Structure 1
């Protein structure tokens, strides 16, 4: 089916892209620390931290993100609203950016604290953003719109790495600002998001769930749906689903362990979100500078490769726009896992089975081959385990637990990342590219897991997705609950009328 681009459909894209900009924060920050590790001025400013300390700096960020996502993201999005969740996250990112940029000389503690706070901010923002998109995007284009969520991660990396490349070309003039400029430019996107948040509507599902404010929900939907009939039908479905969840399951987070279907969804979401980070992409994001230092000797050459990697990442993620709703989520995850596994095997073999030059680097043809293979890896990763994991996670949970569940599942990425990133730099120093054989095995296992356990959610309305996981259809069950409530109300009114008539006759 072909959908014309109406004015309201275009506005739907606009508000979704504003929310997706939260992912730019993540992409930029994941690349910031990768970039500054290549700066001799940063190393000197921070008193030349060793590999274990470098791992601890990454861990400080992930601990903050885990705390923000598990304990703050859901409550902020549920009690204050999706827009406030995004806004609070942006403010924390801005505070932490100043802390990192102006860390005192040889004061690693201030920089570490900034990394932790920026993690908290992103944990909050990255919980609210995909929920907002999922709740306002029409089912038929939800996958396409959510693709931009992952693409904006690449946009963040793109901005950061090109700024870093420019700084590496001007180190003598910039001095210590060769790394401080890279860090402080992180203020740009959260400032833009805060300026644009007042121009987008709140979530209609949140309005009904929080205060049963049907008029506010109707007002929000009228801005993004083409007909009044669509609005009224969606409002009815939302009310029915929420009513059923409140009456038959639980209106709070306890449903995550009370409801068998939700427990199953939570388990699957935890696995694939953790899987996203142990594909090898998390290590490439954080340590590509250290990885390429084993192949190349020029800092500016490594910075250029990182910048080109981020540029191609944007293009590769855009592939998901036209295939996510055509082939489905499951197909992409399986093909992506197999493709990434093959890339990791080949890149390991190329690096470990070829001789090194006298200066420790590789010959130019070998270096080019390794860069090509790592670019091919992100060709498979970006539309599959990059974009699709976020799309699938934001779709599968019912309204009563969606914010908390998405926050917990998405921050499982950082739990896995914290574990891998703590030992990976040491593993890389000791074993070199043999480390990538581990990622190859993980990717094949992930593809097998998806094939057997992950159901397809392509173009399924959010209120009806529960049936895919063995749960009840919340819309159909909600119809019965509302009908019973209506019948009880009519019966009560019928019982009241005779006495009122008698009283009136008596007068």
Structure 2
């Protein structure tokens, strides 16, 4: 790992700024889950039924899918990753104000805010992971998501004093994350790949890399590899979105990414993030007790997610996907059996059964967070969701719905075992090889005139008798003979 140098620390800093875009999703999910437990929110919007509650979440999903599919990529590619994150944050701020100050009884206005927040998150969630993948270490998220649940728990203990602000307080805190991101964006560089893709701005790409890499050799090697890959993509494939259907390896990767992300959504964790409040209402009656469970679950979720930082590269993505899916499947089977096959005196479960269900759902999160929760982000951003029909499903079928999640998790484990290749320690520019495509770096080396596809050659020179080397001896690999770096 090496020592924590100033540039490595800065590298982590810019990663956390970009990773905060992912927290936008987690916090929003937490907010909507939390407000469903507020009697004031239910009364404010005239006791919405299960279909309406599902429609509120569907509105967000529609906005996120539209932005993620049709606008996120083009905005991040044309205007830059920073602009994509910034525009997404601004939309989230606008949507938060709309939701907080929706007129009484006007659920349509609240739903409109959910659509806009989906659009904003679709843009930010597309740009953030791209930024991290091109410039920074793996992301860390979750702290502020759990903060929402603790805010909600605090509010649930003072509902009489706060009145309608018991839910508005949780919603308006959603302003915190996008404001923090916007305040930090000016301090982080654009990615070098974007600079080279746009008018071959080698010097700008070099300046960006020098802010996050420790040596000249690291910078020039990375510049060379990026140039080789981009040149090959232009010559042999395409520099635009037509590559999605022209290149067989890209088509295969896209299909696998869709299935993995759809799988992430239908494991049951996304549903629990949004609807755990109404799930726990079938087990517990006290609203503040449910809020406390949600807060603890979110806090433990942070610790569980951190497991990914040491397991992803040690055991590989495939191992985590399979182990996580099997563990989740077993947990769901036991949860469904414990709830459906035990008595419910006075309409709720006994304390031992309730504690068992909570423990098993926490254990489910233990398996989910470092595997399908964190590892799936390596493949692509979330685009699919089944959350819109879960409230009605739960209302009609109860905890038998969890048998479905158990079966889904088992099938996901089998799918990964047979179809998903391991991507551990493979660079973005060379990952096509795993899917039957060409090595963009090696193929592009001939196009840029490189002797060694992976290493630029630094040469020291003497000027006026003084040795000039290191950071002072470099020249952009802008010409066809891009491997000799001399200034």
Is TM more than 0.5 here?
A: yes
> How big is the shift at 1:109?
1.1
Cα 1:456–1:489, aligned 2, differ >3 Å: closer, same or farther? Answer: closer
Give per-residue Cα distances to partners, 1:203-232, cap 9 Å, x unaligned: 000000022100000000011111001101
Question: 2:399 is matched with which residue: 433, 454, 459?
Answer: 433
User: 8 Å contact 2:329–2:409 — kept in the other structure?
Assistant: yes
Find the aligned partners of 1:115 and 1:220 in 2 and give their Cα distance.
36
Are 2:105 and 1:118 aligned?
A: no
User: 8 Å contact 2:429–2:441 — kept in the other structure?
Assistant: yes
Higher relative contact order (CA 8 A, sep 6+): 1
Find the aligned partners of 1:482 and 1:158 in 2 and give their Cα distance.
49
Q: Give 1:184-263 correspondences, 5 Å limit.
A: 184-263=172-251
Are 2:20 and 1:33 aligned?
A: no
Corresponding residue for residue 471 of structure 2: none
SS at match of 1:211: coil
Corresponding residue for residue 130 of structure 1: 129
Corresponding residue for residue 270 of structure 1: 258
> How big is the shift at 1:357?
1.2
Question: 2:424 is matched with which residue: 445, 452, 458?
Answer: 458
Find the aligned partners of 2:80 and 2:247 in 1 and give their Cα distance.
25
Corresponding residue for residue 357 of structure 2: 370
Find the aligned partners of 1:3 and 1:279 in 2 and give their Cα distance.
38
SS at match of 2:91: helix
User: 8 Å contact 1:89–1:121 — kept in the other structure?
Assistant: yes
> How big is the shift at 1:107?
0.8
Are 2:343 and 1:361 aligned?
A: no
Find the aligned partners of 2:330 and 2:337 in 1 and give their Cα distance.
11
Normalising by structure 2, we get a TM-score of 0.91
Are 2:23 and 1:24 aligned?
A: yes
Higher helix share: 1
Which runs of 5 or more residues in structure 2 are unaligned?
451-476, 482-487
Which runs of 5 or more residues in structure 1 are unaligned?
394-405, 491-507
Question: Across the two proteins, how many residue pairs are aligned to each other?
Answer: 454
Are 2:305 and 1:317 aligned?
A: yes
User: 8 Å contact 1:89–1:122 — kept in the other structure?
Assistant: yes
Give per-residue Cα distances to partners, 1:392-447, cap 9 Å, x unaligned: x1xxxxxxxxxxxx4xxx2433xxx1xx2222111111111111000000000000
Are 2:11 and 1:12 aligned?
A: yes
> How big is the shift at 1:10?
1.1
Find the aligned partners of 1:422 and 1:191 in 2 and give their Cα distance.
29
Corresponding residue for residue 160 of structure 1: 148
User: 8 Å contact 2:51–2:392 — kept in the other structure?
Assistant: yes
Corresponding residue for residue 412 of structure 1: 383
User: 8 Å contact 2:318–2:422 — kept in the other structure?
Assistant: yes
> How big is the shift at 1:239?
0.5
Q: Give 1:328-339 correspondences, 5 Å limit.
A: 328-339=316-327
Corresponding residue for residue 494 of structure 1: none
Find the aligned partners of 1:224 and 1:449 in 2 and give their Cα distance.
37
Find the aligned partners of 1:284 and 1:387 in 2 and give their Cα distance.
16
> How big is the shift at 1:281?
0.6
Find the aligned partners of 2:76 and 2:35 in 1 and give their Cα distance.
33
User: 8 Å contact 2:20–2:181 — kept in the other structure?
Assistant: yes
Corresponding residue for residue 51 of structure 2: 52
> How big is the shift at 1:366?
0.6
> How big is the shift at 1:489?
8.0
> How big is the shift at 1:4?
2.3
Are 2:77 and 1:78 aligned?
A: yes
Corresponding residue for residue 493 of structure 1: none
SS at match of 1:267: helix
SS at match of 2:241: coil
The root-mean-square deviation of aligned C-alpha atoms, in Å, is 1.4
474-483 vs 178-187, greater mean Cα deviation:
474-483
Find the aligned partners of 1:73 and 1:423 in 2 and give their Cα distance.
26
Are 2:411 and 1:387 aligned?
A: no
User: 8 Å contact 2:449–2:480 — kept in the other structure?
Assistant: no
Corresponding residue for residue 107 of structure 2: 108
SS at match of 2:401: helix
Corresponding residue for residue 469 of structure 2: none
User: 8 Å contact 2:64–2:383 — kept in the other structure?
Assistant: no
Give per-residue Cα distances to partners, 1:17-49, cap 9 Å, x unaligned: 110011111111001111111111111111111
Find the aligned partners of 1:186 and 1:422 in 2 and give their Cα distance.
22
Normalising by structure 1, we get a TM-score of 0.88
SS at match of 2:37: coil
Corresponding residue for residue 397 of structure 1: none
